[in-house]
Chain A
């Protein structure tokens, strides 16, 4: 039981490049979320999903897309990377609403 697995752990991109951050969980959790963490600003919600085929925007969705084709996977796509997207990205999952969230190890992303 691996929990929440994120890949890659580190990535450096050039402005304008696109990439996908992967997130997979093996706990059969329905709810999954993506957060970004910047110094002094806590964890901010980018996008979330309450089940396969259902996604919605969080508080900072601009510049990111998500999809949820299976219960296990919830990839985050950066469409055209910008320096303002330099951050640590965490994926999290929970069985349902109002339950503890389990976090992955994070992806540290730098945009030059």
Chain B
């Protein structure tokens, strides 16, 4: 089955700096890669996703890049703000997989004022 590894497990940045979180996946047939943000005590919420026919996707300060050859994808947050502090999860799935998403273990991002 699919295996998703996520690094780093914790990340601290100064407000205004950029943050990058990286994930690798094992199943070359995976073609859907969402990112979720989970604030303390809250539900995971989708912040951005990318499909394998696209190499990069942006939404304001958030971007995701995908390298299918190397089987890794990354989340980039620019101009970080204190409200970006949360746990971020990457995930992967492939069409026709009833099991849907396989999640990484999460990255605790702390934005220091």
Given contacts A33-B100, A101-B100, contact A43 B89 (CB under 8 A): yes
CB pair A104–B43 under 8 Å, yes or no, is yes
CB pair A42–B105 under 8 Å, yes or no, is yes
Q: How far is the CA of A20 from the CA of B78 in the complex (A)?
A: 43
CB pair A43–B103 under 8 Å, yes or no, is yes
Q: How far is the CA of A110 from the CA of B6 in the complex (A)?
A: 28
CB pair B103–A106 under 8 Å, yes or no, is no
The listed residue (A41, A59, A98) touching B94 by CB distance below 8 A is A98
Q: How far is the CA of A42 from the CA of B4 in the complex (A)?
A: 11
In the complex, which residues of chain A have a beta carbon less than 8 angstroms from the beta carbon of B44? 43, 90, 103
Does B46 sit at the interface, judged by CB under 8 A?
Answer: yes
The listed residue (B9, B34, B94, B95) touching A100 by CB distance below 8 A is B34
Q: How far is the CA of A104 from the CA of B94 in the complex (A)?
A: 23
**B63-107 interface code vs A (CB 8 A; 1 in, 0 out):** 000000000000000000000000001000111111111111110
Q: Which of B1-22 contact A (CB under 8 A)?
A: 1, 6, 9
In the complex, which residues of chain A have a beta carbon less than 8 angstroms from the beta carbon of B49? 100
* Given A42-B104, A58-B99, A102-B46, 17 additional A-B pairs, CB 8 A: A35-B103, A40-B105, A41-B105, A42-B103, A42-B105, A43-B103, A44-B103, A45-B100, A56-B99, A90-B44, A97-B93, A97-B95, A98-B31, A98-B94, A100-B49, A101-B34, A103-B43
Please give the residue numbers on chain B whose beta carbons come within 8 Å of chain A beta carbons, in ascending order.
1, 6, 9, 31-32, 34, 42-46, 49, 89, 93-106
Q: What are 15 residue pairs bridging A and B, where the CB atoms are less than 8 Å apart in the complex?
A: A33-B100, A40-B9, A40-B105, A42-B89, A42-B105, A45-B100, A58-B99, A90-B43, A94-B100, A97-B95, A97-B98, A100-B49, A101-B100, A103-B44, A105-B42
